[in-house]
Chains A and B, each alone.
Chain A
Amino acid sequence: AQRVTQPEKLLSVFKGAPVELKCNYSYSGSPELFWYVQYSRQRLQLLLRHISRESIKGFTADLNKGETSFHLKKPFAQEEDSAMYYCALSADYNTDKLIFGTGTRLQVFP
């Protein structure tokens, strides 16, 4: 079955500390993976996707097929990074259907 697992419901760090939000997936084919973010009082929005190999707001994520992981990382967290982060999997080439993880709330303290 296709599944996305985010083991941490809450991750709390201090400003300037490194951040890693974990995401593991189960899918037998070639997945496409994404991170979506929801800031307080804002709508859910795409943060980054693995095929773009981009860095957005200092965040990066590398797809590790051997470990079936797509962890989100940032070397130095900022207070404005506090938000809800969702990892998502697109497992159907012919559709845009996304399977979301349960989300991790990141709290960055000053």
Chain B
Amino acid sequence: DADVTQTPRNRITKTGKRIMLECSQTKGHDRMYWYRQDPGLGLRLIYYSFDVKDINKGEISDGYSVSRQAQAKFSLSLESAIPNQTALYFCATSDTASGKETQYFGPGTRLLVL
């Protein structure tokens, strides 16, 4: 089945370290998103990309960067991790052709910054 996958699923890192979270999809979708989920705050959009050459900031992009290496891959980087970036990170995809708003989510990456 076509899917959205995220690696790693869990990560512990130290303050100041650079880390990368990866997202891959086999759905053939053109649009990809990164969210973070925090207790009591719901999901907040970090970055989104509508195709390989299109990258847009979301609601909370400070401290993060992204790379759309291919239509199927969208990576999120924390250049210098800090403890308040401890959260559950979700990647999602959507398809322009199939209509708006149905976003398909990956299983999430749980990140702990010490």
Q: Of A34, A44, A86, A102, which contacts B101 at CB under 8 A?
A: A34
Chain B residues in 8 Å Cβ range of A44? 43, 90, 92, 105
**9 A-B pairs with C-beta separation under 8 A:** A32-B101, A45-B105, A46-B102, A49-B102, A86-B43, A88-B101, A96-B31, A96-B94, A96-B100
Measured as residues with beta carbon below 8 angstroms from the partner, the interface class of chain A is 20 to 34
**With contacts defined as CB atoms under 8 Å apart, how many contacts are there between chain A and chain B in the complex?**
52
Chain A residues in 8 Å Cβ range of B94? 96
Q: Does A98 contact B (CB under 8 A)?
A: yes
> Given the interface contacts A43-B106, A44-B90, does A32 sit within 8 Å of B43 by beta carbon?
no
Q: Which B positions have Cβ atoms within 8 angstroms of A? A: 4, 31, 33, 35, 40-45, 48, 50, 58, 90, 92, 94, 100-108
Chain B residues in 8 Å Cβ range of A97? 45, 48, 58
Known: A44-B92, A100-B35. 18 other contacts (CB 8 A): A43-B4, A43-B90, A43-B105, A43-B107, A44-B105, A45-B105, A46-B102, A49-B102, A90-B100, A95-B48, A96-B94, A96-B101, A96-B103, A97-B45, A97-B58, A98-B45, A100-B42, A101-B42
Chain A residues in 8 Å Cβ range of B48? 95-97
Q: Of A34, A49, A100, which contacts B43 at CB under 8 A?
A: A100
